[in-house]
Amino acid sequence: MSALTKSLHPDEKIKAGKLGQKMTMAGVGIAVVFLGLSILLGATHGDNWKRFLYAYVTGWSYIASIAIGMLWLVMLHHLTRSRWSTVVRRIAEAMTGAFPLIWLAGLGFILPVALGYKDLYYWAHPDAHNAALNPTIVHKAGWLSPGFFALRYVIYGMVYSGLSWYFASTSRKQDVTGDPALSTQMRVVSGPGMILYGFTTCFLAWDVLMSLAPKWYSTIYGVIYWGSGNIAAFAALGLIVLWIQRNGRLTHSINEEHYHDIGKWMFSFTFFWAYVQFSQFMLQWYGNMPEETNWYKYRMFGEWQWISIAMLACYWAFPFVFLMSRWTKRIVPSLVFFAVWQLVFHWLDMYWNAMPSYDWLVASHGGASIVQGPLAGNIALHHVGFTALDITVWLGLIGVFLAGTGRGLRDNLIPVKDPTLGLSLAHEVM
């Protein structure tokens, strides 16, 4: 990094103006159209809304992970006294400002579960509490109960929204007062905030995604969700920054040096995701415990093996090889390509995590039908089964994220009185 500092260019446009309003209106329009279409498709699907809700969990986990990733960047920025990210921090704060709307949208699958819907999470089904059939689920019954599940969801939303509000509001306060002590204050809060954030993210991943297969467990699952989300978060950050610049703002403040760093974070988390995925797979597969390997068995064989291969080749190998290059990250069209690519495959990652649990085995026992839940029975009967509903729900929830982010794009798009702004403007990647 260069030791020089720079001042804001005299012609720089730093006010958001109507940019936030444009993004919010576009997001609302996308959400209304595609979620409305999704409701129509869900009503005619013929499975009592099950496919709609599985697609909803997949899409919601996708947008939540992006906002979670940007909250990590904001806190890391303060905790490490980072310099390069000062010029993009206000945009990252806007992306975390989507939390309240994201959590409100999440009620679309939380409320049905809390009100007694039994076909989304197997642990909410009466047959799951058969001690002879599901002893591991019975032991988790206190934790995996609809009421407690909904309560934890509310707590997670309060933690994320509270942290997001604190850092965004304090940063804007510094724009007014110019008090450098506020930077120190945010750094101090980032320490315990990061610890709280880590626990919350792990518990959220366990609750929303891992418990779709309640007989399976992994202590590293929350880290995998976080790592995958950070790939998408930095990809989304790069695209939003470019969109802001294409609208005539921050054209002098953000340059190829900053895009290079965004690309480096995309590259590093692409590798990190593969590393933690392999760590989980290796330990569970050679341990050869049926309650652990069963989760992978249904993803390694049958129709799902092709999605697993696509994840390995397209979410890791292809972008890893090309993002390794310095110039791939510095040439904006190239970076945009890989940002869009990773955002698409991040959705496929969420789909790969959630949808194999969609098919439940119903068996006869003693003359009665007993629901044995997900990841059971003949592997050949577990289908990938892409539907239009999967895509429309995903796009509708992206609209929710854009609407929430647009609400945070107001006033200054850059922290004009941050003590590190001059260093960030002069940032050079060595």
Condensed to tens digits (0 to 9), the pLDDT of residues 126-177 reads 999 988 888 889 999 999 999 999 999 999 999 999 999 999 999 999 999 9
Question: What three-state secondary structure class fits 364?
Answer: strand
pLDDT of residue 67 exceeding 60: yes
> What is the biggest distance separating any 2 CA atoms in the chain, rounded to whole angstroms?
81
Residue-wise pLDDT for 195-228, tens only, equals: 999 999 999 999 999 999 999 999 999 999 999 9
State the residue for tokens 């990773």. Answer: 342
Torsion from C-alpha of 206, 207, 212, 217, nearest 10 degrees: 30
Residue 2 predicted with pLDDT over 50: no
* pLDDT at residue 1 is higher than 50: no
Predicted local distance difference test score (pLDDT) of residue 46: 87
| pLDDT of 276 above 80 | yes
Mean pLDDT of all residues in 30-48: 95
Does residue 79 fall inside a structural domain?
yes
pTM greater than 0.75? yes
| SS3 at position 368 | strand
- 3-state secondary structure (DSSP) of residue 125: coil
Whether 192 is in a domain gets the answer yes
Give the C-alpha distances (Å, rounded to integers) separating 384 from 5, 246, 363, 367, 406: 54, 39, 21, 31, 34
Retrieve residue 39's tokens: 């409701």
Q: Is residue 3 part of a domain?
A: no
Rounded to an integer, the average pLDDT of 58-76 is: 98
At 417 the three-state DSSP class reads coil
Rounded mean pLDDT of 59-81?
98
HSE toward the beta carbon, residue 95, CA cutoff 13 A: 29
Q: Give the pLDDT confidence of 324-341 residue by residue, as tens digits.
A: 999 999 999 999 999 999
Which letter does DSSP use for residue 160 in this model?
A: H
Task: Please count the structural domains in the chain.
Answer: 1
User: 62, 346 in Cβ contact below 8 A?
Assistant: yes
Residue 109, domain extent: 19-425
Phi, psi for residue 373 in degrees, rounded to 5: 90, -165
Phi, psi of 305 (to 5 degrees): -60, -30
* Full DSSP string of 158-221: HHHHHHHHHHHHHHHHHHHH--THHHHHHHHHHHHHHHHHHHHHHHHHHHHTGGGSTT---TTH
* 15: DSSP letter: B
Convert the pLDDT of each residue in 95-120 to its tens digit: 999 999 999 999 999 999 999 999 99
Does the pLDDT of residue 347 top 80, yes or no? yes
pLDDT given at position 185: 97
Residues in the chain: 430
In a domain, 11, yes or no: no
**What pLDDT does 369 receive?**
85
Q: What is the pLDDT of residue 133?
A: 84
**Residue 137 located in a structural domain:** yes
Which pLDDT score, from 0 to 100, does residue 153 have?
98
Torsion over CA of 301, 304, 306 and 311, rounded to 10 degrees?
-120
Instruction: Judge contact between 415 and 421, C-beta under 8 A.
Output: yes
Give me the chain's average pLDDT, please: 95
